[in-house]
Amino acid sequence: MLNYRSTIVAVAIMLVATSYGFYTFNISVWWGLIPFGFYFLMVGLGSYKIGMKFYIDSICDVPNSENKVAITFDDGPNIEFTPRVLNLLDEHNAKATFFCIGTTIEKHPEMLKEIDKRGHTVGNHSYSHDIKFDMSSVKDVKQDLQKTEALIETQIGKKTLLFRPPFGVTNPKIAKAVKQLKLQSIGWNIRTLDTTKDSEDKIFDRTTNIKAGDIVLLHDTSDKSVKVLARLLKLLGEKGLHSVTIDELTNIKGYA
């Protein structure tokens, strides 16, 4: 699939071709809109579809993973729901990865320690999880991520190398900051949409075709998500699949 660089090359080729068409074959000027339309379509899709790996090479699944999958939780730690998630994971002897927000870590630092103590991996999900993050300069994105990095390190004594973009949105500035900080971006290939108004059944249905190597996106922020997790863990058992941390699934280092 095209990434940002190859899109720029494709648009340049299209512009040369249409210019040639104007002068040689006297084609309509409307043809000139095609390269611009294509550019904006690709940039729009690439920013919101993490699986396209448009700006950043996010890991979204790991094919050939025997019986392993990775369940991931965003937006915690949450004082009400994270403990329930941790207990369910323990009951099934499953491990997961928690991409935590800096401001929530400040509110519930003890919960972050508990996630680590139970053998799960902690990743960086930005400090504020604000829409402004996506419009920030490289310097501001770096500061935001480093602030969260420091909060995590203070609580668990380890420097995380894993990052999940807030809202799954990426752009050239976030890509540059992530590269400079030597973080690995982690996406997903099963988005449950568990923060929407969809019913528990509909959300669970999105996970039923799960197979080895898949990365599932859930949130440890609601009763509905906890219920979906309970059903998903049962399903994994029936399919002979086992949830592990992202570092174990991908075989990359979770911490520096």
Query: Which residues here bind Zn ion, judged by CB under 5 A?
Result: 74-75
The distance of closest approach from Cβ of residue 243 to Zn ion in the complex, given in angstroms and rounded to an integer, is: 20
Q: What's the rounded Cα separation, in Å, for the pair 84 and 227?
A: 10
Nearer to Zn ion, 104 or 155 (CB): 104
Nearer to Zn ion, 141 or 241 (CB): 141
Active site residue 140: no
Nearer to Zn ion, 116 or 130 (CB): 130
Contact indicator for 189, 51 with CB cutoff of 8 Å: yes
CA angle, residues 20, 26, 31, in degrees to nearest 5: 70
In the chain, % helix, strand, coil (3-state, to 5) comes to: 50, 15, 35
> Other CB atoms closer than 10 Å to residue 169's CB: what's the count?
15
Alpha-helix runs per DSSP H in the chain: 4-20, 33-48, 82-91, 102-107, 109-117, 138-156, 172-180, 200-205, 223-239, 246-250
Catalytic residue among 61, 74, 75, 247: 74
Nearer to Zn ion, 191 or 202 (CB): 191
The distance of closest approach from Cβ of residue 166 to Zn ion in the complex, given in angstroms and rounded to an integer, is: 5
The distance of closest approach from Cβ of residue 18 to Zn ion in the complex, given in angstroms and rounded to an integer, is: 40
Distances (CA, A) of 224 to 4, 127, 189, 192, 201: 37, 25, 20, 11, 10
Token look-up 């280092």 returns 253
The distance of closest approach from Cβ of residue 147 to Zn ion in the complex, given in angstroms and rounded to an integer, is: 16
The distance of closest approach from Cβ of residue 185 to Zn ion in the complex, given in angstroms and rounded to an integer, is: 13
Catalytic residue among 108, 120, 125, 219: 219
Active site residue 92: no
Helix (H, G, I), strand (E, B) or coil at 99: strand
Nearer to Zn ion, 72 or 207 (CB): 72
Residues forming the active site? 74, 219
